[in-house]
Structure 1
Amino acid sequence: MSNQKKIIIYQIFTRLFGNSNNQCVPHGDIHTNGCGKLADFTSKALGEIRQLGATHIWYTGLIEHATQTDYRRYNIRPDHPAVVKGKAGSPYAIKDYYDIDPDLAKDIPGRMKEFEDLVQRTHRNGLGFIMDFVPNHVARQYFSDALPEGCKQLGEDDDKTRAFAPDNNFYYIPGTSLQGNFDMKGTASEPYTEMPAKATGNDRFDAYPEVNDWYETVKLNYGVDYTGGHRHFFTPVPDTWHKMLDILLFWAAKGIDGFRCDMAEMVPVEFWEWAIPQVKKQYPKLMFIAEVYNPSLYRDYLHRGQFDYLYDKVGLYDTLRAIVCCQESATAISRRWQELDGISEHMLNFLENHDEQRIASDFFAGDARKAIPAFIVSACQNVSPVMIYFGQELGERGMDAEGFSGRDGRTTIFDYWSVDTIRRWRNGGSFDGSMLTNEEKNLQAIYRRILNLCHTEGAIRQGAFFDLTYVNQGGWRFNEHRQYAFLRKWGKEVLLCVVNFDPYPADVAVNIPLHAFEFLHMPELEQCRATDLLSGESTTLSFVSYRGSEVSVNGYSGKILKIVLP
Structure 2
Amino acid sequence: MSSWTETVMWWHVYPLGFTGAPIRPTDEERDGGVVHRLPRIEGWLDHLVDLGLNGLLLGPVFASTTHGYDTTDHFRIDPRLGDDGDVDRLIAAARDRGIRILLDGVFNHVGREHPAFRALETHGPEADTADLFRVRWDGWSPGDRVDADVFEGHDALVALNHASPAVEDFVVDVMTHWLNRGIDGWRLDAAYAVPPQFWARVLPRVRSAHPDAWFVGEVIHGDAASIVRESTMDSLTQYELWQGIWHAISDGNLFELAHAIERNNELLAVYAPQTFVGNHDVTRIASAIGVDRVPHALAVLFTVAGVPSVYAGDEFGYEAVKEERLGGDDAVRPEFPDAPPSPEALSASAERILRTHQQLIALRRQHPWLHRAHTDAVHLENTSMVLRTATGTEAIITALNLGDGPVTVPVADARRVLAGTARLLSAEAEIPAGGFAVFSS
Residue 161 of structure 1 deviates from its aligned partner by 5.0
Letter of the structure 1 residue corresponding to residue 385 of structure 2: Y
Whole-Å Cα distance in 2 between the matches of residues 399 and 10 of structure 1?
Answer: 20
- Matched residue, 1:486: 387
Letter of the structure 2 residue corresponding to residue 102 of structure 1: P
Query: RMSD in angstroms over aligned alpha carbons?
Result: 3.4
Whether contact under 8 Å (2:200, 2:231) holds in the other structure is: yes
Residue 348 of structure 1 deviates from its aligned partner by 1.2
Whether contact under 8 Å (1:222, 1:268) holds in the other structure is: yes
- Matched residue, 1:559: 437
Alignment match of 2:429 (pick from 537, 540, 550): 550
- Which blocks of at least 5 consecutive residues in structure 1 are unaligned? 67-88, 106-110, 144-152, 179-192, 203-212, 224-236, 474-479, 513-524, 544-548
- Matched residue, 1:333: 257
- Matched residue, 2:246: 321
Secondary structure at 1:325 match in 2: helix
Alignment match of 1:396 (pick from 318, 327, 338): 318
Check 1:400–1:300 CA distance in 2 against 1; reply closer, same or farther (3 A cut): closer
Whether contact under 8 Å (1:18, 1:36) holds in the other structure is: no
Whole-Å Cα distance in 1 between the matches of residues 60 and 80 of structure 2?
Answer: 10
Residue 59 of structure 1 deviates from its aligned partner by 1.2
Residue 45 of structure 1 deviates from its aligned partner by 2.0
Check 1:141–1:498 CA distance in 2 against 1; reply closer, same or farther (3 A cut): same
Alignment of 1:285-300 (within 5 A): 285-296=212-223, 298-300=224-226
| Identical aligned residues as a percent | 18
Instruction: Report which of the two structures shows the higher radius of gyration computed on alpha carbons.
Output: 1
Whole-Å Cα distance in 1 between the matches of residues 322 and 423 of structure 2?
Answer: 44
Whole-Å Cα distance in 2 between the matches of residues 277 and 10 of structure 1?
Answer: 27
Q: Does 1:437 align with 2:347?
A: yes
- Matched residue, 2:104: 132
Whole-Å Cα distance in 1 between the matches of residues 347 and 216 of structure 2?
Answer: 35
Structure having the higher helix fraction is 2
Secondary structure at 1:331 match in 2: helix
Aligned positions, number: 427
Letter of the structure 1 residue corresponding to residue 366 of structure 2: T
1:184-221, CA deviations, whole angstroms, 9 ceiling, x for partnerless residues?
xxxxxxxxx8622322222xxxxxxxxxx312211111
Whole-Å Cα distance in 1 between the matches of residues 345 and 105 of structure 2?
Answer: 35
- Matched residue, 2:409: 509
Letter of the structure 2 residue corresponding to residue 531 of structure 1: R
Residue 249 of structure 1 deviates from its aligned partner by 1.3
Q: Does 1:304 align with 2:230?
A: yes
Alignment of 1:37-436 (within 5 A): 37-42=37-42, 45-66=44-65, 89-105=66-82, 111-143=83-115, 153=116, 160=124, 168-174=131-137, 195-202=145-152, 213-223=153-163, 238-296=165-223, 298-313=224-239, 315-326=240-251, 329-344=253-268, 345-361=271-287, 364-365=288-289, 367-382=290-305, 384-398=306-320, 404-406=326-328, 410-412=331-333, 418=335, 422-423=336-337, 428-429=338-339, 431-436=341-346
- Matched residue, 1:447: 357
Check 1:335–1:409 CA distance in 2 against 1; reply closer, same or farther (3 A cut): farther
Whether contact under 8 Å (2:281, 2:322) holds in the other structure is: no
Whole-Å Cα distance in 2 between the matches of residues 353 and 45 of structure 1?
Answer: 18
Letter of the structure 2 residue corresponding to residue 37 of structure 1: R
1:8-63, CA deviations, whole angstroms, 9 ceiling, x for partnerless residues?
111111133344x9xx9xx89979xxx88111133x52111112121211111211
Secondary structure at 2:172 match in 1: helix
1:465-492, CA deviations, whole angstroms, 9 ceiling, x for partnerless residues?
34134xx35xxxxxx1112212234576
Secondary structure at 2:76 match in 1: strand
TM-score of the pair, normalised by structure 1:
0.68
1:246-280, CA deviations, whole angstroms, 9 ceiling, x for partnerless residues?
11111111110110000112111111111111111
- Matched residue, 2:30: none
Secondary structure at 2:247 match in 1: helix
Whether contact under 8 Å (2:106, 2:190) holds in the other structure is: yes
Whole-Å Cα distance in 1 between the matches of residues 432 and 144 of structure 2?
Answer: 61
1:493-515, CA deviations, whole angstroms, 9 ceiling, x for partnerless residues?
4322111233x242222275xxx
Letter of the structure 2 residue corresponding to residue 130 of structure 1: L
